[in-house]
Amino acid sequence: MSAVNACGEISGGLNNFFVKNHSTLTTTSTALGRVRGFSIILLFLLSKGVKRCCELAEETQKSRDYVYSYLKRLQKYGLVDISDSFWNLTDLGAWFVEYIKRNSAISDIILKSEQKKNRRRTLKGQKKNRTRQIDIELWSKSTGLSGVQKEVVEVLVDHYNKTGSKFILFRDIYELAEKVKGSPEAVFAAIRRLRQDNIIYLYHSEFQGYWKLGLKKDFIEARLEETLSDRSYN
């Protein structure tokens, strides 16, 4: 299927939907005609469940600002909404994703073209964010932390370097243990030690019972200073 025919099918399918919902969706019809590329990638990711902006940034390897600008546009079009920092599809967004999924040739054309176009943007964004990335190799060698304790810190640092977010969310100790690749008992003990050492914080989020685990600001700033000093020396 050509790109022209694909666009024609999108328009045709959308028109059928909007005829049934004309009173509320007249202006949205024009807006949806602009939804393509990276916007559709975000919609597909949100169709799997609610996500925070930093999680979408990590999955797509884009900056949070870049992802946020697209989410706000999709919100304006009525395709997504946000609740307590979590983004989700609206009914219209869910319908639009299902329509695209049913037309695999359309989604292939859109997604492949966007992936090719965004390779250069990704490299540019990585260079821009490099100055805020931290390296804990020197710190790891000098600290007396155990293997699991270091694993917890490394998971958080890797998340921070990829997304700029200081924290991750998890439902229970078993989910976190799977992410850290340690036993629940060892991970629980590691968290207790890291909190005592003022490296991390942990508290219960009000959103759907999630736990919030993150790096302390002082720890991040100290590691950033070490990283920059090491780069300057080398």
* Domain residue spans of the chain: 3-128, 133-233
pLDDT in tens, 53-75: 988 887 777 888 889 999 999 99
Q: What are phi and psi of 22, to 5 degrees?
A: -60, -40
Tokens 């602009």 identify what position?
Answer: 34
Q: Span 3-128: which CATH code?
A: 1.10.10.10
Cα separation, 82 vs 28, in Å, equals: 19
Nearest 5°: the CA angle 37, 41, 47 is: 140
Q: What's the first-to-final CA gap in the chain, in angstroms?
A: 53
The pLDDT of residue 132 = 64
Q: Is the pLDDT of residue 127 over 70?
A: no
Q: Span 133-233: which CATH code?
A: 1.10.10.10
Count the Cβ atoms, other than its own, within 10 Å of residue 20. Answer: 8
Q: Is the pLDDT of residue 161 over 90?
A: no
Sequence-distant (≥ 6) Cβ neighbours of residue 201 within 8 angstroms:
167, 195, 212, 213, 214, 216
Cα separation, 65 vs 57, in Å, equals: 9
Q: Is the pLDDT of residue 22 over 50?
A: no
Q: Do domains 3-128 and 133-233 have the same CATH topology?
A: yes
Cα separation, 5 vs 106, in Å, equals: 9
Output the pTM of the full model. 0.49
Residue 206 tokens, joined: 């009000």
